[in-house]
């Protein structure tokens, strides 16, 4: 049986750091934790019991439990998922949980957090690099992802800073041993976690055997979160919560989400 990790914010992690960036992160985690504690519809009975009694920040659960939670969040009366979708979902889960209220409108995209006040001048930079790829391949992957989000809307312009200037970047990309919640990344689990504006930082699993193709897909997805987009219900969308390195191009659903924030 294939296993994935599903992020459940049961308690707030210890303070990450004392900087302004760290305070913004903690504020977001507090708010997300409160939203989860008040949402009684996104978990089945067993998981609700776990949420009330456990002090763990993460619950390791098999793919069937994850899919059941996902379909409940989508307001689907049946948790049954076909084998093709199960295979897709088990590949590379994002660390952001699917707990936003179900949107009954026709759109599939979801919004996540705030927006950037100066979206025409958003800088992106690596805090460190993975040892699995050359620095050039990682820069190319970031530029590829940035280009995808710069195209649809003239009001959005992301720029990649060289490593020497990256400490000044609005969105920091870092390969980490632990998630921002202080939980160790593990092979076969979530591969990344992103904060919404006005922080936008992206944490990537340092243990993942990264390829340039996978890194492009993951960075496109996580930059979507960094810009204020949540997870989409559209399996073809770059913002679908389970990532595939076969997807590297924004869909109309992704573009509609971005323009609804920055180019209404």
pLDDT, tens digit, 9 for 90 and up, residues 145-159: 999 999 999 999 999
- The answer to whether 222 is a known catalytic residue is yes
Question: What is the distance between the alpha carbons of residues 157 and 147, in angstroms, rounded to a whole number?
Answer: 9
Q: Over range 212-227, report the average pLDDT.
A: 95
Altogether, the residues listed in the chain come to a count of: 264
Binding site, annotated residues for Ca(2+): 170, 201, 205, 208
Confidence grade of residue 23 (pLDDT, cut at 50, 70, 90): low
Binding site, annotated residues for Zn(2+): 94, 221, 225, 231, 239
Question: Which one of the listed residues 38, 49, 212, 222 is annotated catalytic?
Answer: 222
Give the closest residue to 257 by CA, choosing from 218, 221, 204, 214: 221
Kindly list the structural domains of the chain, giving each domain's residue range(s) and its CATH number in brackets, ordered by start: 3-93 (no CATH), 119-262 (3.40.390.10)
Confidence grade of residue 243 (pLDDT, cut at 50, 70, 90): confident
Question: What is the distance between the alpha carbons of residues 209 and 229, in angstroms, rounded to a whole number?
Answer: 27
Cα four-point dihedral sign 107, 109, 115, 116: negative
Please tell me the predicted confidence (pLDDT) of residue 143: 98
Q: Over range 18-23, report the average pLDDT.
A: 57
Find residue 124's DSSP bridge partners: 160, 171
Binding site, annotated residues: 94, 170, 201, 205, 208, 221, 225, 231, 239
Q: Which residue has the higher pLDDT, 126 or 246?
A: 126
Tokens of 119: 């979206």
């Amino acid at each position: 049986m294939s296993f994935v990790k599903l992020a459940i914010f049961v308690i707030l992690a210890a303070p990450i750091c004392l900087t302004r960036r760290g305070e913004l992160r903690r504020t977001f985690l507090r708010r997300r934790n409160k939203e989860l504690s008040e949402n009684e519809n996104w978990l089945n009975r067993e998981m609700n019991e776990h949420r009330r009694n456990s002090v763990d920040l993460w619950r390791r659960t098999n793919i069937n439990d994850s899919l059941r939670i996902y379909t409940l969040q989508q307001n689907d009366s049946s948790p049954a998922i076909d084998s093709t979708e199960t295979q897709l979902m088990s590949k590379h889960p994002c660390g952001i949980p699917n707990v936003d209220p179900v949107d009954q409108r026709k759109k599939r995209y979801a919004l996540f957090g705030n927006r950037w006040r100066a979206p025409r001048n958003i800088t992106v930079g690596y805090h460190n690099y993975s040892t699995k790829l050359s620095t050039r391949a990682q820069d190319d992957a970031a530029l590829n992802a940035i280009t995808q989000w710069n195209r649809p809307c003239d009001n959005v312009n992301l720029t990649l800073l060289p490593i020497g200037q990256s400490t000044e970047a609005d969105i920091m990309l870092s390969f980490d041993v632990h998630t921002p919640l202080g939980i160790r990344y593990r092979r076969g689990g979530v591969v990344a976690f992103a904060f919404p504006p006005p922080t936008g930082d992206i944490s990537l699993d340092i243990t993942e055997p990264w390829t340039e193709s996978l890194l492009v897909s993951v960075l496109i997805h996580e930059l979507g979160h960094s810009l204020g987009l949540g997870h989409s219900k559209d399996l073809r969308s770059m913002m679908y919560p389970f990532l595939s390195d076969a997807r590297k191009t924004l869909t109309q659903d992704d573009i509609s989400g971005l323009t609804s924030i920055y180019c209404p």
